[in-house]
Amino acid sequence: MEKELDQLLAWLKTASTYELPSYSELPHVPLYMEQVTAYVNSILSPINPGNKDLLTSFMVNNYVKAGIMSAPDKKKYSVDQLGYLLALSTLKTSLSISEIALLIEMDSDVSSDKSVLYGFFRVMAKDILKDVAGKASSKATGIAEHYQKMIDANDPDSEKYLRDSLGLIALRMSIQAGVYQIVSRTILDSIGQKMHGADVYLEENQPGHKEKRREEKITAAQSKRVALAKKAKLPVKAKDKKEK
């Protein structure tokens, strides 16, 4: 796992020092959809190890339909819209569209200047990445140093120690992420019910039949993929025995 460990440590170091471009550094020339998605995905690639598209044209169109951001002017997106899309691409992993819409609805309480709003989000994102990725980097570095000592001593449990130690970090952070999400959504529920009314806000956040079916299909596909991957990893004799 030495190669994977080196890659992990390098990524954590990058993430802990990562920051979004400043408002003045964003393209101020209006961009077409393909240029927008390419730019956003490129900018976020250093903190996107899976290298999956965090923003697609489908997502952009849905944000416009939901009223989260304004429609493009002659199919071109402005620098303000680009700033929103950078923020939306980081928030969408933990919040629903309706929850994001509620946060953006409160933008006017902070400032009417989009550059100020973007700057506020940029600084907050930078501080959180520095804190979270920095702590993870420190812990992983300590584990890596101990792992190297075990290798030097020809300890047969070195690989197990590394896997288990990194796994515990991932587990703890996953629990923290889940708790943060629950608390965040509970807070937004309180705000949303006050701003829109309890019945209206409940309707906004209640998944429809098509959404539920889509989620079920995604879960089923993921389960099948994991099962097939596990089967492929079984020793040949074990697979033959199972098939019999």
**Span 94-112, pLDDT tens digits:** 898 889 999 999 998 999 9
C-alpha–C-alpha distance, residues 161 and 168, integer Å = 11
pLDDT value at 187 more than 60: yes
Q: Return phi, psi of residue 232, to 5°.
A: -65, -25
**Span 31-65, pLDDT tens digits:** 999 999 999 999 999 999 877 889 999 999 999 99
pLDDT band at 239 (very low <50, low <70, confident <90, very high): very low
**Helix, strand, or coil (residue 77):** strand
**Helix, strand, or coil (residue 215):** helix
118 burial class (0-12, 13-18, 19+ CB within 10 angstroms)?
A: buried
Hey, where are the domains in the chain?
2-206, 209-244
**Helix, strand, or coil (residue 92):** coil
